[in-house]
Amino acid sequence: PMGSERPEMRKRQMATTPETPGAAQAQLSTGNRGSNACCFCWCCCCSCSCLTVRNQDEERARRTSHELQAEGIPNCEESPAPTLEEVNAWAQSFDKLMLTPAGRNAFREFLRTEFSEENMLFWMACEELKQESNKSVIEEKARLIYEDYISILSPKEVSLDSRVREVINRNMLEPSQHTFDDAQLQIYTLMHRDSYPRFMNSAIYKDLLQSLSEKSIEA
């Protein structure tokens, strides 16, 4: 689908890029200047660029920590082990796969191997948002979803077309449980058409199916 490679490409580029240009320059500057001197200039003024970079790094670390706590999405959903019948049903349709926590867990594990787990995380966050009724909680969760999955600055940005992004931007003026409905549907369709066929041919699915089949025969 159009634009589906852009967030993944950005993540790969970020993985091979040094953490911050400021950090490298600061290391080169160590030893050439006194301990009271700043790393980018000879003065000790509080408004110089090195302090700006440092403050940005600290703020980014605080924000990441806050988002991880606020997001509250576990590594996997609690669910009983799937039965052979359930795993066979996953092959019948993507809807049946997504209806069960065990199916979502297995599919999410596969998405992680393709560096596209954010698609499932976004879908799950939208489902959680739909269950809220408190206005202030809805607004806060909508803001976090936007920052985590819609913002072009986020490493977890999902792939959406311009029309859907415009809808989201309008909806964010007054967030509700359905602010991301169009986006959620687009990501659901993307997972269905793009990732689901590969999941069905993956070792993750085949190994699970074989394991349950062997247990069934032994029983």
Alpha-carbon gap, residue 83 to 80, rounded angstroms: 9
CA angle 188, 189, 194 (to 5 degrees): 105
pLDDT of residue 77: 77
Q: Residue 27, Cα to own-chain centre: how many angstroms? A: 32
- Asked if residue 14 has pLDDT above 60, the reply is no
pLDDT of residue 195: 98
pLDDT of residue 78: 81
**Confidence class for position 8, pLDDT limits 50, 70, 90:** low
Structure-model confidence comparison of residues 187 and 36, the more confident one? 187
What is the chain's alpha carbon radius of gyration, rounded to the nearest angstrom? 22
Contact (CB, 8 A) for 49 and 40:
yes
pLDDT of residue 7: 59
Mean pLDDT value of segment 16-40: 43
pLDDT of residue 218: 80
By percentage, how much of the chain surpasses pLDDT 90?
A: 61
Domain boundaries, the chain: 84-218
CA angle 35, 30, 19 (to 5 degrees): 120
φ/ψ of residue 153, rounded to 5: -85, -10
pLDDT in tens, 86-115: 999 999 999 999 999 999 999 999 999 999
Class of domain 84-218: mainly alpha
Q: Is 169 helix (H, G, I), strand (E, B) or coil?
A: helix
Name the DSSP letter for residue 82: P
Structure-model confidence comparison of residues 188 and 24, the more confident one? 188
User: Alpha-carbon dihedral of residues 136, 141, 142, 145, nearest 10 degrees?
Assistant: 170
Mean pLDDT value of segment 133-139: 97
**pTM of the predicted model, to two decimals?**
0.66
pLDDT of residue 80: 83
